Amino acid sequence: SIRHVHPSGHAETKANGTTNGTQDKLSPSPRREDVMAGDDPYNPYKTSDSDNPYYNYYDVYESPRRRERPGYGTGYHENGLPDLVPDAYYIQASVYVQRVPMYNLRCANEENCLSSSAYSARDYDTRMLLRFPQRVKNQGTADFLPSRPRYSREWHSCHQHYHSMDEFSHYDLLDSGGRSVAEGHKASFCLEDSSCDYGYYRRFACTSHTQGLSPGCYDTYNADIDCRWIDITDVKPGNYVLKISVNPSYQVPESDYSNNIVRCEVRYTG
C-alpha cells in the first residue's frame, strides 16, 4: 500500500455558366499533397490539407516562423526556449503498487525497465512494481523538440510507436539518506501534445515526423503504460522518496532546469 504525503476559411467556387455559348471550364483540382513530406515542426501552416488531423487552424503564433535548418533538440530558438515542468500532484494522485507475472513483462524486460534480478526470473515468477502516471508541461516560449532527428528515431514494437528521445525521464527511489534503494531506469518517450491550456492548440503527435511539445501544452502518460514504474521487488518495506527527473541529461536546451525534478514521499508496506 502507498500513502501520499480554419480560421474559418472560404473556398472560392465558380458556378457553371455560359459566355457566348461556351461553358466556362473549372480549373483542375490541385494535386493532393503529401502531408508529411518536408514537414517542418516549426511551421504550423505546413499543409493546406484540411483532412489532415494534425493541421492547425488556430495557432498560438500570428505568423509562420522562419526556419533555417531541421528542427530537433531546440537548437534554433528565435522566439525563446522551452521550459519543462513535471506535475507532482498528478503523480501523487495515482501512484500504486502492483504485482505482475513475468510473462506479462517480457517486452518491458527487453527494454531494461526491470531490475537486474528479473533477467533470471521465470515466466511464472512475479515482480512488484511501483507504478505512477506522468504529466509534463512546457511552460516556456518555444517548442520542446526531441534530441533525435527524425531519421534516427527508434520504433518500439512493445509500445507500437516511435521514441524520439533515449532519456526523456529518469525514475529513482531513494531512502532517507538520499541513497538509491531500487534500480532506477531511464525512460525513452514518444513526445506529443496530449492536451493544452485554454488558448493553446495541439500541434505535435506521436508519429515518426511530428513529435514535440508545444508551449502551453502537456505530454501525459497514464500509470498503466509499460515502463512507467520502478521495479521494487528487492526493496524492503519502509519510507522512501520517489524522484522523477525530466530532460535529466540536459540534451535539449531549456530556459530553466531547476524545475525539472519532482519528489514524492512514499510509504511501502510490502
- The H-or-E segment that residue 93 falls in is helix 88-94
Q: In this model, does residue 153 exceed pLDDT 50?
A: yes
Does residue 54 contact residue 203 with C-beta atoms inside 8 Å? yes
Q: In this structure, what C-alpha cell is assigned to residue 63?
A: 505568423
Confidence of residue 72 (pLDDT cuts 50, 70, 90): very low
Reduced to 3 states (helix: H, G, I; strand: E, B; else coil), residue 52 is coil
Nearest C-alpha neighbor of 267 from the set 238, 229, 231: 238
Could you tell me if residue 227 is left (phi over 0), alpha (psi between -120 and 50 degrees) or otherwise beta?
left
Torsional sign, CA 247, 249, 251, 254: positive
* Residue with more model confidence, 172 or 70: 172
CA gap 262, 260 in Å, rounded: 7
Q: In this model, does residue 38 exceed pLDDT 60?
A: no
CA gap 137, 125 in Å, rounded: 37
- pTM value? 0.67
Does residue 23 contact residue 16 with C-beta atoms inside 8 Å? yes
Distance (Å) of CA 270 to CA 93, 102, 234, 242: 20, 19, 10, 16
Over residues 37-65, the mean pLDDT reads: 44
* Residue with more model confidence, 108 or 88: 88
* Residue with more model confidence, 13 or 267: 267
Domain residue ranges of the chain, discontinuous segments joined by +: 84-268
